[in-house]
Structure 1
Amino acid sequence: MKILIESNVRLFVDIEGISLAPDKSVMREKPTLILLHGGPGYDHSSFKPAFSQLSDIVQIVYYDHRGHGRSDSRPIKELTLDILADDIVKLCDTLGIIKPIVLGQSFGGFVAQRYIERHPNHPLKVILSSTSHNFGLDRKLAKFEQLGGLEARIVAEKFWTNPNELTYNAYQVLCRPFYSAVISTNNQSSLRSTFKSKILFKWINGEYQNMSLLSGLSRAQCAVLVLAGELDPVCPIDDSRDIVKALPEQFVQFEEFQNCGHGVWRDKPNKAFVRIRKFILED
């Protein structure tokens, strides 16, 4: 369904699980988990069906960022981190959600970090998964070279410095398989996803170039779990370590996953979801 969050702005939203669960003689409210997908230019489909297993402890809200996927098209100039972070609050206000748990994957993690900065008292908890705090091209290229040799580094550099259909297609063939340590040629979620290349190319040449999120993380007022894979080439694990250092010590938790790439639940789903579940259930 599409939800109107402001005049002329409708987001595609899918809700899984009940919010009120019977517990003997009472009804207990489960927390709401809001999932922020990666990209930009993609949609929420990469979370399905894996995250359904959490519906016994949370109500899950999947949605496509403004202008993405099945949400209404919007001018690319609106697709800034500030606006996308504010959309989380607007969506919650529209749906009547108070104190959500917000999980941001990759680009969704960029949005979640800006959300922490702009709305520190809004979330109950935040999960930052396989994400970065800046463009960090040098770290990206070094990791691609480590995983795929000089050819992978060259192809990655061509794409990240000159994003277009030609460089993107070469990147998808040679570099994208290194995103995951286990699933390379059989990642069906990427086939299901809608993709708007203009959003991605504009983002790389635009806000991403000067993105700097570390300073805003000091404003966090809730528990934040950072998940990272040691083999992640696009959001290298050292970026997550920087994020951990920037968050208030009393709130941050950090889990490094060995032999995992981008999106640790893809490579080690059992371990990843046990950790996420534990974080959700903690007081």
Structure 2
Amino acid sequence: MTRRRKVGIAGAIVGAASAGVAAGVAVKRYAVGRIRLRPDLEANEPFGELRGRAQTVTTSDGVGLHVEVDGPEDAPVTVVFCHGYTLNLDSWHYQRRELRKEHRLVFWDQRCHGHSDRCSREDCTVDRLGDDLYEVIQAVAPGPVVLVGHSMGGMTIMALADRHPEVFEERVRGVALIATSAGKLAEITLGLPAMFAKLVHKALPPTVRALGRRPDLVEPSRRLGNDVAFLALRHLAFGDSKNISPTVVDFAETMIRSTPIDVIADFYPALMSHDKLSALPVLERIPVTVLVGGEDWLTPPDHSKAIADSLPRSQLIEVAGASHLVQLEQPGVVNDALRDLVSRAWRLAPERRTA
């Protein structure tokens, strides 16, 4: 096997979490072709087309963050959405579509993702993301806020609690932590037997570093490997993969593929070393919803249960059959949970409202 072919396969592994389902080009194309022939109720959904009032928030270290504000400006609460690793603000498509009439919404691309500026590898840390969120809140979210984070976005909220606990006393009225973890991501099994999981975790860090150093070789291979990524992402990130819309899978895969491989490599060590369990008590006085897919292999339900156990007053929702991209797979469940959270946040803390 040539070096280029090896790098191409490895790029697909990182870009879509795993490409182990690829058993050959002919089989792959046949499988994808059969999937795409099924009825697709989401075929006409305008993914990536919903837009808000765009602006740029420049951080204290000079990074321009792309921000979009949606919904009525006079809404009593602003809901701030923090997306996950390798995604962008469009990953909240269904939440924007359904909640924009009710609430003032803020969506932002985390540094190096989407339309936000790149930064140095040294600044690709979860702590820096927490600082970014603080600056976004200060710039575009006046008054009470509810924070919603998916995967890395949930870690961003935990970093905010760790570095700026005062904002939870003064501004934050509720938090939703979706398919995320407070730490120990390096111990997840990805649904593999323990021995194989150990080998994967041993091999991934050097592989990711190597890929990040040669984006010129990896990126063309990622573009050529769309069917591999489609099957892998459908298998790992969506629980009920037989019924998930191919258009939704394509949409998620496009977001992942648009994230440069060196960005994926730069953030990977920060996510594996993330540990913010000690910051969770900052959230004890506000309503917290912890939501996870029952079939999530990337941030397994046990990680959400550990968060909920640290926050006895929190509400834990495990969505049966769903996986890591639960906000795309089961948007109705997620939207209902967010509506309930905003209602509880406003109702249970009237004495803390900001005029």
Interval of TM-score (by shorter of Structure 1 and Structure 2): 0.7 to 0.9
SS of the aligned residue for 1:162 comes to helix
Q: Which of 235, 251, 270 does residue 299 from structure 2 map onto? A: 235
1:153, CA displacement in angstroms? 9.6
SS of the aligned residue for 1:266 comes to helix
Q: Which of 271, 281, 289 does residue 208 from structure 1 map onto? A: 271
CA contact (8 A) 2:188 2:197 kept: no
Deviations 1:33-66 (A, max 9, x none): 1111111x43212112443211222111111112
Q: Which residue of 2 aligns with 1:114?
A: 159
SS of the aligned residue for 1:68 comes to coil
- Residues 269 and 77 of structure 1, relative CA distance in 2, 3 Å threshold: same
Q: Distance in 2 between matches of 1:217 and 1:175?
A: 33
In the alignment, residue 290 of structure 2 is paired with which amino acid?
A: V
Q: Which residue of 2 aligns with 1:26?
A: none
Is 1:98 paired with 2:143? yes
Q: Which residue of 2 aligns with 1:172?
A: 229
Is 1:217 paired with 2:280? yes
CA contact (8 A) 1:113 1:216 kept: yes
- Residues 139 and 161 of structure 1, relative CA distance in 2, 3 Å threshold: farther
Higher relative contact order (CA 8 A, sep 6+): 2
Identical positions, percent = 21
Q: Distance in 2 between matches of 1:13 and 1:273?
A: 21
Is 1:36 paired with 2:85? no
SS of the aligned residue for 1:104 comes to strand
1:91, CA displacement in angstroms? 1.4
CA contact (8 A) 1:127 1:225 kept: yes
CA contact (8 A) 2:126 2:271 kept: no
Q: Which of 53, 68, 74 does residue 119 from structure 2 map onto? A: 74
State the aligned residue count: 267
CA contact (8 A) 2:186 2:201 kept: no
Q: Distance in 2 between matches of 1:106 and 1:49?
A: 17
TM-score (norm 2): 0.67
Deviations 1:56-107 (A, max 9, x none): 2211111111232211222121121111111112112222523311111011
In the alignment, residue 119 of structure 1 is paired with which amino acid?
A: H
Q: Which residue of 1 aligns with 2:261?
A: 197
SS of the aligned residue for 1:18 comes to coil
Structure 2 unaligned spans of 5+: 1-54, 212-217, 348-355
TM-score (norm 1): 0.82
Q: Distance in 1 between matches of 2:230 and 2:203?
A: 13
- Residues 117 and 222 of structure 1, relative CA distance in 2, 3 Å threshold: farther
CA contact (8 A) 1:38 1:105 kept: yes
- Supply the RMSD in Å over aligned alpha carbons: 3.0
Higher strand share: 1
Q: Distance in 1 between matches of 2:307 and 2:197?
A: 26
1:144, CA displacement in angstroms? 4.9
Q: Write the mapping of 1:247-258 to structure 2, written as runs, cut at 5 A.
A: 247=311, 249-250=312-313, 252-258=314-320
Q: Which of 75, 86, 93 does residue 131 from structure 2 map onto? A: 86
Structure 1 unaligned spans of 5+: 21-28
Q: Distance in 2 between matches of 1:19 and 1:233?
A: 38
- Higher alpha-carbon Rg: 2
Deviations 1:207-240 (A, max 9, x none): 2332212111122242211001110010100111
- Residues 47 and 152 of structure 1, relative CA distance in 2, 3 Å threshold: farther
1:262, CA displacement in angstroms? 1.0
Is 1:45 paired with 2:94? no
Q: Distance in 2 between matches of 1:145 and 1:53?
A: 40
SS of the aligned residue for 1:48 comes to helix
Q: Distance in 2 between matches of 1:111 and 1:99?
A: 18
Higher helix share: 2
SS of the aligned residue for 1:103 comes to strand
Q: Distance in 2 between matches of 1:152 and 1:209?
A: 14
CA contact (8 A) 1:130 1:235 kept: yes
1:9, CA displacement in angstroms? 2.5
Q: Which of 132, 148, 173 does residue 181 from structure 2 map onto? A: 132
Deviations 1:142-169 (A, max 9, x none): x2569xxx99998787546632359986
CA contact (8 A) 2:76 2:144 kept: no
